[in-house]
Chain A
Amino acid sequence: GDSVTQMEGPVTLSEEAFLTINCTYTATGYPSLFWYVQYPGEGLQLLLKATKADDKGSNKGFEATYRKETTSFHLEKGSVQVSDSAVYFCALGIMYSGGGADGLTFGKGTHLIIQP
């Protein structure tokens, strides 16, 4: 079945450090890929997405590129801030062949802690 694997946390960085959170996937067909973020005390929200190979999603300084050859969608940010502390989830979605849409398949999440 479809699955998403992301790096274990917690990941602890100093402010202004470079961030990479690895995400790889296994899927039948051609998935769309997503990063969701959950800030402390808040609900899940979409951070960025890419719907086909070589697409780059970006938002709030975060970027991720859909790499079909390595089945990866790593999340990066050049300079993290304390306010980026949150749990980050990589997810995939695949359209049903019949036309309806699947729900998302999520990874386990990576807890990111940014220290001042």
Chain B
Amino acid sequence: EAGVAQSPRYKIIEKRQSVAFWCNPISGHATLYWYQQILGQGPKLLIQFQNNGVVDDSQLPKDRFSAERLKGVDSTLKIQPAKLEDSAVYLCASSLGGRVRDEQFFGPGTRLTVL
């Protein structure tokens, strides 16, 4: 079974530029999550989708971050404009049903460096 795919794996941009990350979850998984992991910290949830609807985006900085999940499958996370503090690894995860006890499967992450 293929895992969660993410691209690109690495991205370096200047501050105030824009960037987009892509995630393809495990086939059949209804729930998709985006997490931000700053160096030395644990992942922090940014947004959670159930199919193509948003369940929770309370920690997403909506003035600069946006995310969509068209057709309830793959998803993109965008930052515009980027700030230095956005340097982090962006993790995508998916789960079958979205219930707390359903295992979340994580992708390899996209490491973003903002200069």
Contacts and interface: CB of A to CB of B under 8 A. Distances in A.
A103 B56 contact: yes
Interface in A14-38: 31-32, 36
Name the prevailing secondary structure of the B interface residues: loop
Centre residue among A32, A44, A102 by max chain B CB count within 10 A = A44
Interface string B29-52: 001010100001111110010100
Contact of A44 (B44, B48, B50, B106): B106
Most chain B CB within a 10 A radius of its CB, from A44, A102, A103, A108: A103
Interface in B1-20: 3-4
Size class of the contact patch on chain B: 20 to 34
B101 A49 contact: yes
Contacts of A109: 40-42
A36 B104 CA distance: 10
Q: Which of A43, A96, A102, A108 has the most CB of B within 10 A?
A: A43
Interface residues of A, number: 27
Name the residue among A36, A94, A100 with the largest chain B CB count within 10 angstroms: A100
A102 B40 contact: no
Nearest to B41: A108
Contact of B104 (A95, A100, A104, A107): A104
Given A4-B42, A44-B91, A91-B42, A103 B106 contact: no
Interface of A: 4, 31-32, 36, 42-46, 49, 51, 89, 91, 93-96, 100-109
